[in-house]
Amino acid sequence: MEPTTPSRSHDRRRARFGWWWRGGDAVGWGRLIWLGSVGTPLSAALVLRIDEVDGDLLAGVALAHLAAVVLSFWLPWRRWPAWALLAFPVFSTASVAVVATAVPGVSGVYGGFFALCFAYTGLFLPRAGSVVLLPPALVAYFGTLPALSATAFVRAAFLAVAWLVLGELLGLLRRRQQALFRELRVENETDALTGLANRRGMERFLAGAQGGDVLLVFDLDNFKQLNDAHGHAEGDRALRTFGRLLSGELRTRDRAARSGGEEMVVLLRCSTESRCGVELTRRLRRGLESAYPGLTFSAGIAVVDPDRAVDDALEAADRAMYAAKSGGRDQVWVCDPELSGELRPVADSGPSRQDGFVRAG
């Protein structure tokens, strides 16, 4: 039998018990911690055959946890800040103090459960979450003890340090893992030549496009002739120059990608129809005139329709770009949504230096 990898195991768990993980992994594990704060002492009482149990109090705590778990399925966890997850370890540690009163004979089993709560905090809460959890956890811990003494306070101090170290170490490990993942994703989604996103990165940012965003498709004119006449090294320099100029013109929330060859795709989050796209092409044309004389581009512009797929806007911008090519190159064409998607050239664009490339010194 083929061994089961962790990812496949995770997928199978999701397929069978996906309802339990509604709200995300942190919420799913938080629900388990809630149940564990009651299940742990109850299981210990059964195993150790402890007769001294306050059944009414234990039943009340169990019902409260059951109600909290049911309520958690309806709460908008994904819209709340990560600090909302603190409800899981805080409620659990408080419940342990109450359960310790109902089952006093198993006070020794709670140390591991407190450590579990701090592990949860380190894995899912923001930085210093363990520090925030420590005061209520210590209050709950003292509530589990049958009596307070100097020895109990010393033991609590050592436990507090261990809990903090556990939570912060797991938090540090999580943050390093996230940083490494971001670096790998950037490397995996970046075009090495231009510094723009590659096709994989383009698919990612297009998936987040919204109605009113503007899409542009650029294609460098006569690029094959440039490669044939001056070599691929010069073609690479032209791509790097255009990529650098394009990156310099974008705002933080805009995105650009090299979709293949000499073609670039840009997503502008300007919500001002096609005007901001036209302004971008004008600035790029002026920049190319000094950075790489003779290099021109053809561009197509389309606006993302909120009622249609972003691929439709991308296809419209692509058609507009090819119309600019067919119209003589060094042009910008727009797919006008007000004219049922009719293609039209921008008024001040038109063919210019099409007699060859002049390489910048």
| pLDDT tens, residue by residue, 258-307 | 999 999 999 999 865 668 889 999 999 999 999 999 999 999 999 998 88
Q: Is residue 359 in a domain?
A: no
What CATH number is associated with residue 218? 3.30.70.270
3-state SS class at 170: helix
* Paired tokens of 72: 């958690």
pLDDT attached to residue 349: 59
Residues of the chain with pLDDT below 70 are: 1-17, 41, 43-51, 53, 105-109, 271-274, 338-341, 347-361
Q: Is residue 156 in a domain?
A: yes
C-alpha span between 209 and 192 (Å, rounded): 24
pLDDT attached to residue 113: 83
Give the pTM.
0.63
Residues 124 and 205 occupy one common structural domain: no
Residues 162 and 311 occupy one common structural domain: no
Residues 249 and 274 occupy one common structural domain: yes
Q: Is residue 218 in a domain?
A: yes
- Name the E strands within the chain: 214-220, 255-260, 263-268, 297-303, 332-336, 342-345
For 174-225, give the DSSP string: HHHHHHHHHHHHHHHTB-TTTSSB-HHHHHHHHHT--TT-EEEEEEETTHHH
Domain end point (choices 188, 223, 255): 188
Distant-in-sequence, close-in-space partners of 244: CB < 8 Å, separation ≥ 6: 194, 195, 291
**Amino acid code (one letter) for 211:** G
For 333-354, give the DSSP string: EEEEGGGTTEEEE-TT------
Residues 143 and 25 occupy one common structural domain: yes
Per-residue pLDDT reduced to its tens digit, 122-146: 999 999 999 999 999 999 888 888 7
3-state SS class at 16: helix
